[in-house]
Amino acid sequence: MPTYKHYWREGSGSLVVDVALVLCDAPVERIRVDTNAGDHRKPGFLALNPMAQIPVLVLPDATVLTETAAMVLVLAEAFPQAGLLPPSAGAARATALRWLMLMATTGYSAALRAYRPERYSGDASTASCVAVQAAALAESNKIFAILADAAEGPFLFGAKLTIVDVYLAMLADWHPPALDLPAIRQIHQGVLADPVIAKAWTRHEQPA
């Protein structure tokens, strides 16, 4: 069976893609990119993703995908039996895409600004970085409050776990105050209670 190639590293959105690949039982070659060593800025990787960002997924037909949400959507279409997303016909699918895009475009960005405010501050002053970080944390709080209010329980869309719940749980790991919200904590616990997901999750934990 043709193989997917997943370029990944710990502590990145590649976690969601790895979980998706595992849930789909897709044949995959995992290629760890050492960003500390600058591997993401080497010509070979830049040829795949000129943005020098992780993850990258190369499809069996050699199509190169960047952007985690795009990878999830492509895998959901390629492996409908895996149930990564609610069925395509129905309001649940539309709502799943709504929240997936919110997390991918706004939630992920807020997490980056909270952890690396110097990249987004416009200057290196402490005051500027603190202001960027404070705004990012406030935005994360707002997003999680919205998601908690929308959650049907025990997962976002009721009894069935989807890849959107995995994305939410990853962002909650990066923003611990989110786990103070009962609905978010319940989703996070439910995601990690799945032994298949938990194994992939462990692979993506930041090394000591």
> Per-block average pLDDT, block size 10, for the chain (208 residues)?
91 95 97 96 97 97 97 97 92 96 97 92 86 96 98 96 98 97 98 94 74
Q: Which of 34, 31, 20, 29 is nearest to 207 (CA)?
A: 34
Q: What pLDDT does 71 receive?
A: 98
pTM for the structure as a whole: 0.95
Q: What pLDDT does 206 receive?
A: 60
Determine phi and psi for 151, rounding to 5 degrees: -65, 135
Instruction: Determine, yes or no, domain membership for 75.
Output: yes
d(CA 106, CA 135): 12
Q: What pLDDT does 99 receive?
A: 98
Which secondary structure element, helix H or strand E, spans residue 92, and what is its range? helix 91-102
Question: 169 and 120 in one domain?
Answer: yes
Question: 97 and 165 in one domain?
Answer: yes
Q: Strand 4-8 and strand 28-32: pairing?
A: parallel
Q: What pLDDT does 208 receive?
A: 39
Question: 78 and 8 in one domain?
Answer: yes
Q: What pLDDT does 104 receive?
A: 97
Question: 19 and 106 in one domain?
Answer: no
Angle subtended at Cα 39 by Cα 200 and Cα 63, rounded to the nearest 5 degrees: 65
What is the residue range of 33's domain?
4-82
SS3 65: strand
Q: What pLDDT does 207 receive?
A: 53
Instruction: Determine, yes or no, domain membership for 111.
Output: yes
User: Number of helices (H) and strands (E), helices first, in the chain?
Assistant: 9, 4
Residue 135: both structure tokens together: 């705004």
